[in-house]
């Protein structure tokens, strides 16, 4: 795989969704005004949904990004309502392990999220990420707006045109159906279980690479 960073600036230049300048507000001690300001800021938040293997991994990576307000692990794209982890792992529900990202587009663009998505998993392996095998580990982007659909399709095309990956990208771009949050013990899994064997063997090395290559995009 070539360095995905090499094509990012070219893509952002072509995109109609450039990152806006972050608005600043005058400091005020009045609690009511602070509440109104917070409500205004929350109204700017948007949602992105990605499936890229084990959600313990993807949640950990996106939680670190500036402009990301919240990341929830869950299930999407299947035929069963309110599926459980056991049901999804059986491969019979059709769901993918996914994350729902709430972010401020004034601080981080959707294209930046796409960049991290493709940089932190292998989009060329069908229904598999490393040793994790099954349709629940598929690579899929679930768009929530027409603009996200266009951005995702253009990003995939640019990656393929630039031959960033040695093999064909199998990532699907799909309109988001209902997202079901996973069980509580899956939320913030890496942060709460850093010494768990899977976390140490799989997530920790990838996290180190993320912090090295994308330091400017991470929270302090």
Whether 54 is a known active-site residue: answer yes
Q: Could you tell me the pLDDT band of residue 220, with boundaries at 50, 70 and 90?
A: confident
Domain holding 69, by residue range, is 46-217
Residue 156 forms part of a structural domain: yes
CATH code of the domain containing 98: 3.30.1060.10
- Lowest-confidence range among 3-7, 157-161, 177-181? 3-7
Positive or negative torsion for Cα 216, 157, 69, 34: positive
Mean pLDDT of the chain: 87
- The tally of CA atoms less than 13 A away on the side-chain side of residue 65 is 29
The predicted model gives 165-173 an average pLDDT of 97
Residue in 51, 14, 6, 13 with CA at minimum distance from that of residue 164: 6
pTM for the model:
0.84
Catalytic pick among 54, 57, 89, 199: 54
Residue with tokens 């707006």: 145
Overall domain count for the chain: 1
Residue 34 forms part of a structural domain: no
Residue 112 forms part of a structural domain: yes
């Amino acid at each position: 795989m070539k360095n995905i960073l090499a094509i990012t600036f070219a893509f952002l230049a072509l995109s109609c969704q450039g990152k806006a300048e972050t608005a600043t507000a005058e400091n005020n001690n009045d609690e009511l005004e602070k509440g109104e300001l917070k409500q205004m800021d929350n109204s700017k938040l948007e949602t992105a949904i990605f499936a890229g293997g084990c959600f313990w991994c993807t949640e950990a990576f996106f939680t670190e990004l500036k402009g990301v307000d919240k990341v929830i692990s869950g299930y999407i794209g299947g035929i069963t309502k309110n599926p459980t982890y056991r049901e999804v792992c059986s491969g019979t529900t059709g769901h993918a392990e996914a994350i729902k990202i709430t972010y401020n587009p004034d601080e981080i663009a959707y294209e930046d999220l796409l960049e991290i998505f493709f940089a932190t998993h292998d989009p060329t392996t069908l229904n598999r990420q490393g040793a994790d095998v099954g349709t629940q580990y598929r690579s899929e982007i679930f768009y929530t707006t027409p603009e996200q659909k266009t951005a995702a399709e253009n990003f995939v095309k640019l990656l393929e045109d630039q031959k960033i990956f040695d093999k064909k990208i199998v990532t699907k771009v799909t309109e988001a159906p209902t997202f079901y949050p996973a069980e509580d013990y899956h939320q913030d899994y890496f942060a709460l279980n850093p010494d768990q064997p899977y976390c140490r063997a799989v997530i920790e090395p990838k996290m180190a690479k993320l912090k090295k290559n994308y330091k400017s995009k991470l929270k302090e």
